[in-house]
Structure 1
Amino acid sequence: MIKYNSIDLFSGVGGLTEGMHQAGFETKLAIEIVEEAVIGYKLNHANATVLQKDIRAISKEEISTILNGERLHLLAGCPPCQGFSSIRRLNRGSVEDHRNDLVLEYLRLVKEHLPYTIMMENVPALKEYTLFEQLVSELREIGYHIDFDVVNVKDYGVPQRRRRLVMVGSLLGPIKIARGNNEKVTVREVIGNLESIQDTKDLIHTITAKHTDAILERIKLTPKNGGSSKDLPASFKLKCHQKDNVGFNDVYGRLRWDDYSTTITGGCLNPSKGRFLHPEENRVISPREAALLQSFPKDYKFPLNIPKQALALLIGNALPPKFSYIQSSNIKNHLDSYLGNKSESN
């Protein structure tokens, strides 16, 4: 049997890689510039070569040496998306943000290595930029069949609302992105039976924010199971929320047990950044709870000796592994159909 190999660009802590591995791919190379992310990635994917380097400094020869003559089956990546905020999406021309160049670096590596298949994930707003139109056009010019759409990961068994743009492509033949199966997984199902942060032996589950007495009192007054700042007595509301139609209702809001989580972002360990309070307990969710809501396995490792904000960014910026698994499995089936790589279970 052919062992399908892959490369993970902008790998972060390894959410995309985790899904690819679960689908049967072997990651030959991961590229990531952030040191904390590289540390976390290596804790979970020790067999992959990891380059801590700016992707713009990665040469064709460097990757070819690591591939050692093997054909690349899947080149996947999630270029950092801060340069494509929804606030700026009405500007369909070029945007002066150096992070936008990273999409073109993705394109460069595709052209240099011509993998059989490709996958890219990003914020929905990228679809509105001429840069994305350029990407798709040039990929088609070199022979790739391309499909893309904006989807919500909640429709793929991830316990979280999170809209993402997904693009897949293949040199072998027509390919479509995987569609969700509408499996609903709730907050209760993934964190409802966790041991308490006081009793756990999972150190990542013990990390939580420390609040002033005033903030803690505000949290205690927030109704259980979905309450938010708008439910507080006027005297406890933040000044920026005391006027009508001002502020964000989700700030200092609680998650709902029997619903999806709000989008887990890089601010997920700070209740002032969104609806990140535990449904019942008077605290923000722990890093382990945030990771589970991102669909990471319960035993996934994260570095402990980094600032809490850095840890939140590792978790919030990751591609949910379950979503990656479904998209990667779809690509693997596509490769099987063209390369005749059937397993004994097929």
Structure 2
Amino acid sequence: MSPSADSPAFESVQMVDLFAGPGGLDVAARWLGVSVVGIEWDPNACRTRAEAGLTTQPGDVRAFGPQGFPSARYLAGGPPCQTFTVAGSGAGRKALDGVVDFIKRLAADEDISADLLELDDERTGLVLEPLRWALEADKLGHPYEVIVLEQVPAVLPVWEAMGRALEGIGYQFTCDILHTEEFGVPQTRRRAILVARRGREPKLPDPTHRRYKSGTARHAGLPGLLEWKSMGDVFPERGPFAVISNYGSGGVSTARGRRTSEQPAFTVTGKVSRNRVITPSGIEMDRFSPSEAGRLQTFPRDYPWAGGDVGQQIGNAIPPRLAAHVLAAALFDGTLDDTSLNAAIASPWSAHRETTPTLVPSRR
């Protein structure tokens, strides 16, 4: 059972993870030896977190604040992205200018609660919660040393506006779009990452692998970078195969995207189980299991997915491998050795249920 906000289990946590989901960032933090509590309101994700032994505060992020976690030095979060994505309702895109204005008003200590109620989709306003937490922590006299936020690429303008607001209370910030395959994730996926720090220059990680480009050989690209990882690297036991996406290509619903096992996966979404998997001769194979979908996201093979809607849990998560690179740079000014990271991902999750570091970042 997860502890409550006044539990001793929260007294020494170093990081609070808002909208923690099934634990993508928390897994990375565990590898790095950072103690973290995740706040999550989805009961399915909370079940997975409980099975994985992750410290969790169930509930709505809006019902909590930094005063409940006084020892936390770091704040992280990945607010819900559905309203900002092409696949979502589009409420976030329509309200983008309004959200940026909300950030300015929140930073000016205005009460915007009534205006938030007028949003087409309440999830759009949740992207403001990390700023509320940061402002409240500053007022309490215990500002976070580092803030790390991630979202879909469409949210980059929001992160830029939030970074400027954080500058008003002593932070420096940087933000950019990171490509997951450039960090060894066997999947093409882009995430908007913000890192803000007090008293020192913020850092984003440098790519460790080459960027995937259709029709380009794995060994092509910038010298000194590792080759991008393919689905076949993750599932050698399957032999050669192809994946036919559930989504249309080029805006044509009947033109399904197709990639072979020699390529990275498409972005893993909540509909990953609908993707067909076939042999080179066209024979249907078993579709990706939850464990396999999780491995494409770089969760350990035995990560204990639980509850309902597991596909959505997996699709919503930040890949732990990317999160590890981001946290190593943001918290420790460090880089991660690829061999050690591969070993952490390959080892049983039971070996990481305690917050003991298995990854030691090297200083840049």
Q: Decide: shared fold, TM above 0.5.
A: yes
> 2:13 touches 2:69 (CA, 8 Å); kept in 1?
no
Q: In the TM superposition, what is the alpha-carbon distance from 1:91 to its structure 2 partner?
A: 6.3
Q: CA deviation at 1:73?
A: 2.5
Q: Is the 8 A contact 1:78 1:120 kept in 2?
A: yes
Residue pair 2:292, 2:301 contacting (<8 A) in 1 also: no
Aligned residue for 2:52? Answer: 44
Q: 184-193 or 142-151, which moves further after superposition?
A: 184-193
Q: 1:43 to 1:17 in 2, by over 3 A?
A: same
Give matches, 1:1-346, under 5 Å. Answer: 5-27=14-36, 29-46=37-54, 48=55, 50-64=56-70, 70=71, 72-86=72-86, 89=93, 92-94=96-98, 96=119, 97-113=121-137, 114-128=143-157, 131-182=158-209, 183=226, 184-193=228-237, 224-225=241-242, 246-250=252-256, 255-271=259-275, 276-277=276-277, 281-303=284-306, 306-307=307-308, 310-334=309-333
Residue type of the alignment partner of 1:152: H
Give the Cα separation in 2 of the matches to 1:156 and 1:38: 27
Q: Looking at CA atoms only, which structure, 1 or 2, has the larger radius of gyration?
A: 1
Aligned residue for 1:7, secondary structure, equals: strand
Number of matched pairs:
279
Give the residue type in structure 1 aligned to 2:187.
Q
In terms of fraction of residues, the more strand-rich structure is: 2
Cα deviation 1:300-339 (Å, max 9, x = unaligned): 1111xx44xx11011111100000111111123239xxxx
Which secondary structure does the structure 2 equivalent of 1:299 belong to? Answer: coil
What 5-or-longer segments of structure 1 have no aligned partner? 65-69, 196-222, 231-239, 336-342
Quote the offset at 1:192 in angstroms: 2.1
Asked if the contact 1:254/1:279 (under 8 Å) is kept, the reply is no
Separation (CA, whole Å) in 1 of partners of 2:325 and 2:246 = 36
- The alpha carbon displacement at 1:194 in A equals 6.4
Aligned partner of residue 94 in structure 1, secondary structure: helix
Q: Secondary structure at the match of 1:102?
A: helix
Amino acid in the other structure paired with 2:77: G
Where do 5+ consecutive residues of structure 2 fail to align?
1-11, 100-118, 138-142, 210-225, 335-359
Give the 3 Å change call, closer, same or farther, for CA 314–91 of structure 1 in structure 2.
closer
Instruction: Describe the shift of the 1:227–1:300 C-alpha distance in structure 2 as closer, same or farther (beyond 3 A).
Output: closer
CA distance in 1, matches of 2:246, 2:313: 27
Deviates more, 1:106-115 or 1:158-167: 106-115
**More displaced 10-residue stretch of structure 1: 51-60 or 155-164:** 51-60
Return the letter of the residue paired with 1:193: E
Q: Which amino acid aligns with 1:36?
A: N
Aligned residue for 1:249, secondary structure, equals: strand
Distance in 2 (CA, whole Å) between partners of 1:321 and 1:293 is 11
Deviations 1:83-121 (A, max 9, x none): 212466476422633112212111111222321001000
Give me the whole-angstrom Cα distance separating, in 2, the residues matched to 1:245 and 1:345.
44
Deviation at 1:25, TM superposition (A): 1.1
CA distance in 2, matches of 1:345, 1:225: 38
| Cα pair distance change 1:225/1:75, threshold 3 Å | same
- Runs of 4+ with >3 A deviation: 86-92, 131-134, 226-230, 278-281, 343-346
Task: Tell me the distance in 2 between the aligned counterparts of 1:324 and 1:229.
Answer: 26
Q: Is the 8 A contact 2:332 2:361 kept in 1?
A: no
Contact preservation (8 Å) 1:15, 1:324: yes
Segment drifting more, 283-292 vs 260-269: 283-292
**CA contact 2:173–2:196 (8 Å) conserved in 1:** yes
Identity %: 29
CA distance in 1 between partners of 2:361 and 2:26 (Å):
24
- SS of corresponding position for 2:273: coil
**Change beyond 3 A, Cα 1:177–1:249:** same
Assess if the C-alpha contact under 8 Å between 2:270 and 2:313 holds in 1. yes
Deviation, structure 1 residue 24: 2.4
Cα-Cα RMSD: 3.2
Q: Aligned AA for 1:43?
A: E
Does the CA contact (< 8 Å) of 1:229 and 1:249 recur in 2? Answer: no
Q: Whole-Å Cα distance in 2 between the matches of residues 124 and 344 of structure 1?
A: 27
TM-score, normalised to structure 2, is: 0.69
Paired AA for residue 125 in structure 2: D
